[in-house]
Amino acid sequence: MNSLNSSLAIYLIVITLALTLVHVSQAQNSHQDYLDAHNAARAEVVVKPLKWNNTLEAFSRNTSIRRFSTCNAAQVPFEIGENVGEATFPLTGVEAVKLWANEKSYYDYDKNECVGRNCWHYIQVVSNLTVSVGCDRSQCKNGIWAISCYYYPPCDIINRPYD
């Protein structure tokens, strides 16, 4: 009886944890969550906030579906920008955008180049040319979690991303 009770208790704890994780991850993948994470990084360098773009979200979902089956990067039209984050754990949308925004420490504004590490995700997050974004999150068949965001218009690859 005791042992039945304790395994039941453990079972319930596992279910509760699973529900909490699902809840937390959903709470970090809404349109507003993606926008807030981008716009916080943009506000730091005084760049206008991004708006949500349903067309880009649809493109992202479509791309994710393609990723879901193939797990390969998709081909992206030249008129939009792309940031993709992948992880072996259930990376949330907010976590992915924060990882991109944290590349700020590798961006040298004076030289206008990435120093020590790639910082192109950051440049796209804060680009003053970009007005809208659409993102999606999915899990590939090999278990990898992918967050993909698309940007219109894309960042400038020659000039600085902000004044």
Q: Please state, in angstroms and rounded to a whole number, the distance separating the CA atoms of residues 74 and 72.
A: 6
Interface of this chain with ligand NAG, residues 54 to 73, rule: CB under 6 A: 55-56, 58-59, 62
CB atoms within 10 A of CB 39: 20
Name the residue number minimizing CB distance to ligand NAG: 132
Q: Please state, in angstroms and rounded to a whole number, the distance separating the CA atoms of residues 150 and 130.
A: 10
Nearest to 103 by CA among 51, 140, 155: 155
Rule CB under 6 A: is residue 160 a binding residue for ligand NAG?
A: yes
Rule CB under 6 A: is residue 83 a binding residue for ligand NAG?
A: no
Binding mask 122-141 for ligand NAG (x = CB under 6 A): ------xx-xx---------
Selected binder of ligand NAG within 53, 64, 83, 92 (CB under 6 A): 53
Rule CB under 6 A: is residue 152 a binding residue for ligand NAG?
A: yes
Q: What are phi and psi of 110, to 5 degrees?
A: -60, -45
